[in-house]
Amino acid sequence: MVLYTTENKNTSSGDQNVEDDFLDRWKQLLEPDVLKPFWLLMMYFFFSNLLSGVPLSPYLVYVFTEFGVDVDVSSIIVLSQCIAMVGGVLTVFSVNKLGKRFLTLSTLLITSLCYISIGLIGVYWTDSKLLTSRLILILYLVSTFVASLGIMPIGWILLSEIFPMKSRNITCSMCSTLSFILSFFMTKNYLTFVALVNLYNTFTIFGISGLIGCAYFYFYLPETENKTLQEISEFFK
């Protein structure tokens, strides 16, 4: 009987410790060095999805057909994916030399300007359809390469760098999940948005949004390359 009572007390104490530990883990999410990088990454995933072609990926046949290109659409899709792969490989060799902050700002800026140019050319330069369609296609392929070089992969690198160890398991899982949910809703509603504002205005709006993202990251995105976790955490406190 005594033995049973002792074990019961130990069990109750253990359950209480587990509950307290669980609550402490979730309370950590409200601390500045956790909450600030969390919102930073969510903004990063929003702009990277918007400017890397994620929303329109399932609709590339429709998009390239609307461009009016005089080459096989299927071949262009394959080419765009090959270009994206090359950009991703080059990221591996350039990120250590250029840094994640510089790559983010430069690639987001270039991609935004490409999108704005596509939108403006498609709406206002309609005299030479053949020249216009080829120029728009080139701008799109450039944006695909540049996005794959910077904003698309770097977000996933930052995911493993900017969170403190105490909350990394929870925050990395949450950010990854929310990123894919965000991609889903962007993709699902892309054609609806195009129906409201037309294809070329969609590119213009996305590009202007990217410029806003550049301004945001200029002030709030730290350089994490060659920095310790403590130095990164101090930035967010």
pTM for the full model? 0.85
Tokens of 46: 């929003």
- At 221, list the tokens: 């995105």
DSSP assignment letter at 132: H
pLDDT of residue 7: 46
CATH 3.50.50.60 is right for the domain spanning 53-236: no
62-109, pLDDT tens digit by residue?
998 888 888 888 889 999 999 999 999 999 999 999 999 999 999 999
**Residues contacting residue 65 through CB under 8 Å, at least 6 positions apart:** 73
- Angle 229-236/32-51 helices, nearest 10 degrees? 90
Q: What are the tokens at 222?
A: 């730290």
Per-residue pLDDT, 22: 56
Q: Which of 80, 41, 75 is nearest to 57 (CA)?
A: 80
Task: Give the Cα separation of 174 and 59 in Å (integer).
Answer: 28
Question: Of 84, 101, 202, which Cα lies nearest the Cα of 147?
Answer: 84
In a 10 Å sphere around its CB, with 0-12 CB exposed, 13-18 middle and 19+ buried, how is residue 79 labelled?
middle
Residue from 180, 164, 174, 139 nearest 48 by CA: 180
* CA–CA dist 11, 193 (Å, integer): 56
Q: In this predicted model, what pLDDT tens digit does every residue of 26-65 receive, in sequence order?
A: 667 777 788 899 999 999 999 999 999 899 999 999 998 8
**Residue pair 130/70 in contact by the 8 Å Cβ criterion:** yes
- pLDDT value at position 209? 96
User: Token match 């709406």: residue?
Assistant: 123
Q: Is 163 left (phi over 0), alpha (psi -120 to 50) or beta?
A: beta
pLDDT tens sequence across 182-237: 999 999 999 999 999 999 999 999 999 999 999 999 999 999 988 888 888 888 87
What would the two tokens of residue 200 be? 């070329």
Residue 163's pLDDT is what? 86
